[in-house]
Structure 1
């Protein structure tokens, strides 16, 4: 009985079909470094590719221009290490959230990148809108969870404005750490958590 001819082995997809994760990570790291070094205005795909040690085609296979790249890395930075706290009290949840936001904003690259992007957003509405989506929206979902838990515990009214919670909690941190770059004194986060909780009219349960 004749043997069936061996079936040809399939080749793994190549080129655009495969995006190596290590290359993507190298490009993201290069974007961070370029933003911190030369700023958004002078950053280019060519500079990013050169710093990452890849060809420009590798960058364009992942992002169509420099704006989507920047938004991608800023979104990752904004959400980095941000927990969805559930400590059992609104005060505790706000305190955990403030600690996480402060840690992100103290990141050396964030301290260099965010002021530059904020300046660019004043001149470019597209960047302003995209930056808001990248930074604020990543934190809004966490604020929604904090409010939802507080409402369930009877600490907040069901009609509490989530955006107000986020403004009260994170606004002072952005002002001090990003805009005026003033170090946080001892006890600042605890005091800000207490002030935020009080401003929201929360019922102060035992902590």
Structure 2
């Protein structure tokens, strides 16, 4: 009999390789999914490794083999959330790239799990410097990586002048939709994303 890294004992056909146990990717993904669900259900403060393991259908040791604490597990999920579903737009125009980015980002922010997790982690970040630093790094890098690509492509096409303030350009691209969807959590009226893309493109051309 032999035991894999995350499951019960099964008949052995050959000796397992020496060294660290191989971690099953399906178990890792089940734990990550359970974190999203647990965060949405109870929030970070009440979330526990026991609850995550129970929801994922694994033992606590399977979680601790991958992450040494609840904080490290959540930071890993935040990193994944930051880049999940973001496209690298290439429509051929600045306004088209912005519209595609806003459409995908808006759908992600409206997802019921994301809409609960992000405000909760923001509140926790105000109390926990480690979460604050990680959220700033991962969310900012995820958004800015895509926005920087849009700005660079627009420069190559001559839609944005060389020497334009890039930090201000990135704020103009990322700020309004995040404010509307996450901070004040207002409904987006019909045509809002088209108008936002058109207005933001005009502002970027004026930099």
**TM (normalized to structure 1)?**
0.87
Q: Distance in 1 between matches of 2:40 and 2:19?
A: 31
Partner of 1:126: 130
Larger RCO (alpha carbons 8 Å, 6+ apart): 1
**Match of residue 4 from structure 2:** none
Unaligned runs of 5+ in 2: 1-12
Deviations 1:78-116 (A, max 9, x none): 322211111111111111111111111011101111111
Maintained 8 Å contact 2:40/2:117: yes
The alpha carbon displacement at 1:54 in A equals 1.0
Unaligned 5+ runs, structure 1: 1-8
Question: What is the CA-CA distance between 1:160 and the residue it aligns to?
Answer: 3.2
What residue in structure 2 maps to residue 158 of structure 1? 162
RMSD value over aligned CA atoms?
Answer: 2.0
Question: Which residue number corresponds to residue 70 of structure 1?
Answer: 74
Of structures 1 and 2, the larger Rg is shown by 1
Distance 1:111 1:131, change over 3 A: same
Q: 1:60 to 1:15 in 2, by over 3 A?
A: farther
Specify the SS of the correspondent of 1:17: coil
CA distance in 2, matches of 1:193, 1:180: 20
CA distance in 1, matches of 2:59, 2:110: 32
CA distance in 1, matches of 2:90, 2:206: 16
- The CA deviation at 1:13 is 3.6
Residue by residue over 1:140-165, the C-alpha shift from the partner in whole angstroms, topping out at 9 and shown as x without a partner, is: 11112111111111111233344323
Q: Following superposition of structure 1 onto structure 2, how do residues 55-204 of structure 1 map, counting pairs within 5 Å?
A: 55-201=59-205
Question: Secondary structure at 1:186's aligned position in 2?
Answer: coil
| Preserved contact between residue 40 and residue 117 of structure 1 (Cα < 8 Å) | yes
For the residues of structure 2 that align with 1:10 and 1:33, how far apart are their CA atoms? 38
Pick aligned residue for 1:35 from 39, 59, 63 = 39
Query: Number of aligned pairs?
Result: 195
Asked if structure 1 preserves the Cα contact closer than 8 Å seen for 2:143 and 2:174, the reply is no
How far off its partner does 1:14 sit? 7.7
CA displacement at 1:202 relative to structure 2: 5.2
Aligned-partner SS, 1:200: helix
Q: 1:95 to 1:202 in 2, by over 3 A?
A: farther
1:23 aligns to 2:27 (yes or no): yes
Tell whether the 8 Å contact from 1:90 to 1:197 is kept in structure 2 after alignment.
yes
